[in-house]
Amino acid sequence: MKNIIFYTILFFLIWHCSINQVFAFIDKGDFDEIKRQLNEEDFQTKIQAMRKIQKSGLSLEDVSQLLETAVSSDDIRIQLFAFRILYEHGDKSIIDQLFSYLSDPLVGQNTKLRIIYFIKGLKDESIIYRLKPLIFDEQDDIVRIGMLNVFFSITPLESAEEKLVQIIKTYLKEGSRENKLKILDFISGQRENAIPLLKIAFDDEDMLVKEKAFDTISHMDTVDVSKIIGPYVKKKDKVSVYNAAFILGMRGEKSYFRFITNDLQSKDKAVRGGAIDFLFRRLGKGGEEAFLKIIKRISEGDEDEEIREKAAQYIKYWNQIGRSSLPLNRQKE
């Protein structure tokens, strides 16, 4: 009997400690202290007070009372945290307030972006779908792309309204480098549905945009890319040739590596240097062993000092970065 009483008390103590770790219960008498902390200038003090409220177990009415100053804060970080706590306690009206901010042309870019990614974090499709009409009206490209990012995180490209897809195509054709790269970042999650859009970027004149598009398709393991990128090995620009050849070579069609190895042995210094530069950009992503012997030979015997040095740097970085990723038995070779 004593043992039963002892274990019952022990269980209660453990349960009580666990509950207190999850819920930071706040008594009515603590309200003034919490409010005082929320009025402090120090950012972390405010955050800590709000975390207590978040885990308090208080009613929505009490939470709303405590967060009154935080909701009207000039600091969007504080304001959004307050909104999240209210939302978690059942106040859905704050969503309307957030969308009123997004619709207001006087609200700044940074504030809108924080709100957009706050909405994404709620993971509520019905709320995210409300971004759709705002995408058409938004004038700030960065904000608009942020909205597209969040909207297409739940919307397949193939079922999206054509006007929305056309906005993406316009950015890929006419946008700045920064905007094109942002677009490529989020459409990569669409897998094979993104291929028609990637084809626009394959033909971009900007090397970074082009390579980002090729890198994106290289990760689509379930897609047969040979028919899509195979024709690019016949292009005049070397960036397309090298990227297409490298991806196809990594997919098992090793003969395509010749488009790179041939240029490593070209009589033209610029061509040799360009091929090494491309492999530098791919360093650490696999496939290095197909080119190491040739690059080592270049580092030791190329007629041009600059090319020799560039090849030697590649070997050096491979020894530092690449070989560390090999199995131990391969490192000893």
pLDDT in tens, 206-243: 999 999 999 999 999 888 899 999 999 999 999 999 99
Task: Record the tokens describing residue 289, joined without a space.
Answer: 């062993």
CA separation for the pair 113, 132 (Å, rounded): 15
Task: Give pLDDT tens digits for 129-173.
Answer: 999 999 999 999 999 999 999 999 999 999 999 999 999 999 999
Contacts of 110 (CB under 8 A, 6+ apart): 76
Chain-wide mean pLDDT for the chain? 87
pLDDT of residue 20: 39
Are 164 and 135 spatial neighbours (Cβ–Cβ below 8 Å)?
Answer: yes
Whether the pLDDT of residue 15 is over 60: the answer is no
pLDDT tens readout for residues 249-307: 999 999 999 999 999 999 999 999 999 999 999 988 888 889 999 999 999 999 999 99
What is the domain partition of the chain in residue ranges? 224-325
- The Cα–Cα gap between 289 and 54 comes to 54
- Residues constituting the chain: 333
**Which residue type sits at 221?**
D
Model-level pTM? 0.79
Position 85 pLDDT exceeds 50: yes
Q: Can you give 258-296 as a three-state secondary structure string? A: HHHHHHHCCCCHHHHHHHHHHHHHHCCCCCHHHCHHHHH
**Would you say 107 and 138 are in contact if contact means Cβ atoms under 8 Å apart?**
no
